[in-house]
Structure 1
Amino acid sequence: MVNWRRCLYLAHRWLGIGLCLLFAAWFFSGVVMMYIGFPRLSVDERLAALPALQAESLQFGPRALLAQLDGDLQIDSLRLSTVTGRPAYLLRTAGREQLGMFADTGERFTEFGTGDALRAAAVYAESLGIAAGYGPTYLGRIGMDQWSVSSELHRHRPLHRVSLNDARGTQLYVSSRTGEVVRDTSTSERAWNWLGANLHWIYPLQLRRHGEVWYWVVVVLSLTGLVSILSGAVIGCMRLRWRKRYRGRDVTPYRGAMKLHHLLGLWFLIPLTTYLFSGLMSMGPWGIFDEDVPYATQRASYRQVPPAQSALQGSAGAEELRQVLVARPHSREVVWHWLAGWPHLYTVGGGNSREPLTMRPASVGAAVPVDWTQAALAQLNAMMTGHAVSAVDTLTAYDNYYYVHHDDWRPLPVLRVRYDDPAQSWFHIDLATGELLNCLTATGRLERWLYNGLHSLDFQFLINRRPLWDLVVIALSVAGFVLSLTSVVIAWRRLRPKSRRSPGRPARKLRPDSTAVAQPTS
């Protein structure tokens, strides 16, 4: 007959031995990630590194680019920006292909080379006022390295890596498809990430380049850790005595590291369990958070972008854009978007300030008093035919479902429109531009709590009261780290070579459960 107690103790012991160092690394790296995230180029950083668009350099309008494309091509995004110091139109197709044209000469983009990457880096450094020792240095062309494994960079590969030779040790990654700087890293950022994101996400390049393998490694380790936690919880409760205490005073039979491990594991059982469980939820295992109607489909229905040949009908040409840039000399970009098939555009300035445009001759460059609420509601109702609006709210401050954390950016105010469809959809509309920002269903809201809420403690009463959030997260992480260290000590005692006993000295008998190693959560 199977002795279930013995199986429980053995499972917990050897899972603890196998995972204790990983769990300690997870807790430590989580604290590092609170302050130093994985390298990326934030919205604010990207805009700050762009020079203001110069009206006199603009010789061609966006229709000149579309005229060179397949007339049936579907546009995903279009903007006027700066590439290697020159004004350029950047277009992404619905198939995620990157296309472009320089607005000063009408020259179509081809692949950007070494010289282009160095010019892009020089413009970046000049715009940010970075003092480089002797100018940018080209470090090579790469497909992927440790700091560029993110899937969002796939459409820009291969990448050019350039060093700015500045005091921060800045290295830039330049797209060979668009000539844009798409990522920046510094020496300290790279160093800390070996103790932060690379540890926490199990992110070595050799593993991460194989996305499916990496996914299952994280899922299996998370599930194994949960088994370790639950087995430890059962053992911990079984070994706890409130009456007939051990040695007349202790609720635990253990001493030293085992005692601390036993008590800490029970005291912090709930936060430790939810921490590891939410880490598993971050992977969306087995498609549990997949939507019946993908957001990309809803966004396409809201925008209804015509084919390329007619996508910009009635929109601005080169002369009108020059007038806009004269009226708004601090504009970094001009962005086109569509609502119900009609093109709209706005300028983006420093600090991500956005101003819609009107092309009426008498008021070129003036802000448009567009009633985006009515226009957006009309289009959403057309999309959601058969379902009624259950609520319409204007958000002027972040809440539990529309918020930012750390250095992220989201526009305010926004319009939230709720529907009574089976998915219980909530749409968020940018009231400055009329753009659809996202759609949050009941499934998405559940994911928000099971992952962000439980893993990062993204609760408004905490993240709006920093450093309270910092203190709570660090305290729980320290508890988990100490618990993990007790597992390391216990595991070492179990695995270290046994010293020889003196001749004639009998071996001390141990209870079957006295050497069990309890294991912390992630």
Structure 2
Amino acid sequence: MPVLLFIHRWIGVALAVFMVGWLSSGLVIANSGSIALTRAAQLAHLPSLAPQPGWLSAEAAVAAIAASRENFTRGASVADARLVRLGDAPAWIVENSRGDRLAVSAVDGALVDISPTLAEQIARKWLLAEKSAAGLAYLDTADSVVGVRNAELLKPFHRFAALDDAGTIIVVSAKSGDVVQAATRFERGLYYAGAWLHLFRPLDLLNAGEFRRTALTYAGGFAFIGALTGVIVGLVKWRPGFFGRPTYSQGRTQPYREKWLKYHFWAGLIGGVFAALWAGSGFLSTNPGQIFSPATASPAELALYYGAGRQSEGAPLPAVSEKIVELRWSRLGDAAVVTAYDRDGTRHALAGASAIDDGALISAAARLAGSTAIAAHEPLADYDSYYVAGHGQGAAERPLPALRVDLADAGHTSLYIDPADGRLLLKLDDSRRKFRWLYSAVHHWDFGWFRDFHLARRSGS
């Protein structure tokens, strides 16, 4: 007991201020969300597409890339391309199974250099969609911008300051031409007070970003130990009198008479349980020792899933209404489909195939599974306990309906597939199911009734 008290006291002293800051920054995240733009926000600000006769098909754009950038297609499949306007010019944004992106002109098939000049045009279109007449000033081109998801695949970034009262900064990816961030001064302040501190981003400024995950792991582990020892001390001293066992004098269930010490006992015991759960789940979030399987399918698995496909010239681009801002070409094996999106994020079926048939979806799952058999498949009209929107993934990233394909392997792997375009949305096995409950459910409270509660929604944003 003396050793336990010593560990609890001194680890508690060392971690008390840290835990206050860490939990406070977590609450800022929970109530402010992320400054990274969602796909829904990006679609809402795109200019009308208005395809013209003679524009290249997605297949032609992919062929142009294969001819000029062999490394882009070597060892990787191309299964996704988006036709948008970059500034005023139409371009296909082509992505391979490694996540690499290239922009190709839909007019002549030339690679598009997303220079600061073109990025400024894109940023001005964003402001126009915001109905803002603010001017725009180029800041810099940087490899690192705080608060951007998938930064390694999208860098470098062109940054522009909108000359408005809110201090808005717009960030454009030089790889894809996407506006990946448009945050006001206040929103950036919330990010720095929240995620920047909570995730130890200051280490990036010290050129120690590669140690950030390790630092988070150790901090979470020490915080968990400190909270857990406090809970154990409290439980040892607690005498509730169950089953006729003795209590303290005058029927007290704890040893203290002073109000402050009584408060410390109960607040420490009850709050310590929550602190231990949050710290422990935060410790697990870094996947220490790789005890959980990877969160996403590997590039090799994606290449198998999407398959090689047959080379074709592609059909002419369909005529679409004025409200359409993006055409998305998706390929799965030999099947291909083009889907139109408007600013509301609504998908519109076009003439011809409007979805990939179930046979092609099951065949793709079988390619990924290899020698493992398909155990079952089931259409989903609603989210389940594992396939849910949240954590920066909205309805665009987690669409419904979906198809779940279960594999007959030892890990009971499930594949969640978008039947509209064949995208592999989620790969889940028993290890990731445990992670979902041990980390996500405990840390974000994104289950059951809490999923619809304000705190769970914000912490999942």
TM-score of the aligned structures, taking structure 1 as reference length: 0.77
1:412-444 per-residue CA deviation (whole Å, 9 max, x = no partner) reads 001112122112111112122233222211111
Indicate whether 1:245 and 2:248 are aligned: yes
Measured after TM superposition, the shift of residue 233 of structure 1 is 2.2
Indicate whether 1:335 and 2:334 are aligned: no
Match of 1:380 in 2: 365
- Contact 1:75–1:91 at 8 Å: present in 2 too? no
Q: What is the RMSD of the two structures over their aligned residues, measured on CA atoms?
A: 2.9
Measured after TM superposition, the shift of residue 376 of structure 1 is 1.3
User: Does the residue aligned with 1:101 lie in a helix, a strand or coil?
Assistant: strand
- Contact 2:404–2:417 at 8 Å: present in 1 too? yes
What is the identity, as a one-letter code, of the residue corresponding to 1:346? T
Of residues 66, 73, 94 in structure 1, which corresponds to 2:63? 66
Q: Distance in 2 between matches of 1:256 and 1:240?
A: 16
Structure 1 window deviating more from structure 2 (84-93 vs 234-243): it is: 234-243
What is the identity, as a one-letter code, of the residue corresponding to 2:133? A
1:360-418 per-residue CA deviation (whole Å, 9 max, x = no partner) reads xxxxx425365622321233235435544433222111121111137622110011121
User: Does the residue aligned with 2:52 lie in a helix, a strand or coil?
Assistant: helix
1:13-52 correspondence to structure 2 within 5 Å:
13-52=9-48
Indicate whether 1:421 and 2:409 are aligned: yes
- Contact 1:37–1:197 at 8 Å: present in 2 too? no
- Contact 1:393–1:416 at 8 Å: present in 2 too? yes
**How many residues are treated as equivalent by the alignment?**
444
1:24-423 correspondence to structure 2 within 5 Å:
24-56=20-52, 59-62=55-58, 63=60, 66-67=63-64, 68-70=67-69, 73=74, 74-76=76-78, 77-110=80-113, 112-129=114-131, 131-133=132-134, 135-148=135-148, 150=149, 152-204=150-202, 206=204, 210-242=208-240, 243=246, 245=248, 249=252, 251-253=254-256, 255-291=258-294, 294-306=297-309, 311=311, 313-316=312-315, 320-321=316-317, 324=318, 326-356=319-349, 365-366=350-351, 368=353, 370=355, 372-384=357-369, 386-405=371-390, 408-409=394-395, 410-423=398-411
Q: Distance in 1 between matches of 2:61 and 2:387?
A: 39
What is the identity, as a one-letter code, of the residue corresponding to 2:152? H
Measured after TM superposition, the shift of residue 302 of structure 1 is 1.9
Q: Structure 2 unaligned segments of length 5 or more: list them.
A: 241-245
What is the identity, as a one-letter code, of the residue corresponding to 2:140? G
1:131-155 per-residue CA deviation (whole Å, 9 max, x = no partner) reads 133x11112222324444x5x1223
- Contact 1:75–1:94 at 8 Å: present in 2 too? yes
Q: Distance in 2 between matches of 1:258 and 1:294?
A: 52
1:82-102 per-residue CA deviation (whole Å, 9 max, x = no partner) reads 212311112234454432222
Measured after TM superposition, the shift of residue 47 of structure 1 is 0.6
Measured after TM superposition, the shift of residue 53 of structure 1 is 0.8
Q: Distance in 2 between matches of 1:300 and 1:470?
A: 34
- Contact 1:452–1:458 at 8 Å: present in 2 too? yes
What is the identity, as a one-letter code, of the residue corresponding to 2:224? L
Q: Pick closer, same or farther for the CA change 1:235–1:70 going to 2, 3 Å.
A: closer
Q: Pick closer, same or farther for the CA change 1:402–1:209 going to 2, 3 Å.
A: farther
- Contact 1:305–1:338 at 8 Å: present in 2 too? no
Q: Pick closer, same or farther for the CA change 1:210–1:118 going to 2, 3 Å.
A: same
- Contact 1:305–1:342 at 8 Å: present in 2 too? no
- Contact 1:84–1:179 at 8 Å: present in 2 too? no
Measured after TM superposition, the shift of residue 303 of structure 1 is 0.9
Bigger RCO (CA 8 Å, 6+ sep): 1
Task: Please identify the structure whose Cα radius of gyration is greater.
Answer: 1
Measured after TM superposition, the shift of residue 278 of structure 1 is 0.9
Q: Pick closer, same or farther for the CA change 1:159–1:205 going to 2, 3 Å.
A: farther
1:300-352 per-residue CA deviation (whole Å, 9 max, x = no partner) reads 2221035xxx64x1522xxx21xx1x333322222222212443322222222
- Contact 2:308–2:333 at 8 Å: present in 1 too? yes
Structure 1 window deviating more from structure 2 (201-210 vs 181-190): it is: 201-210
User: Does the residue aligned with 1:34 lie in a helix, a strand or coil?
Assistant: helix
What is the identity, as a one-letter code, of the residue corresponding to 1:262? F
Q: Distance in 2 between matches of 1:84 and 1:468?
A: 38
Q: Distance in 1 between matches of 2:172 and 2:166?
A: 18
TM-score of the aligned structures, taking structure 2 as reference length: 0.86
Measured after TM superposition, the shift of residue 290 of structure 1 is 2.3
- Contact 1:156–1:175 at 8 Å: present in 2 too? yes
Measured after TM superposition, the shift of residue 259 of structure 1 is 2.9
User: Does the residue aligned with 1:343 lie in a helix, a strand or coil?
Assistant: strand
Q: Pick closer, same or farther for the CA change 1:264–1:94 going to 2, 3 Å.
A: same
Q: Distance in 1 between matches of 2:63 and 2:212?
A: 40
Identity %: 25
What is the identity, as a one-letter code, of the residue corresponding to 2:63? L
Q: Distance in 1 between matches of 2:417 and 2:87?
A: 33
What is the identity, as a one-letter code, of the residue corresponding to 2:6? L
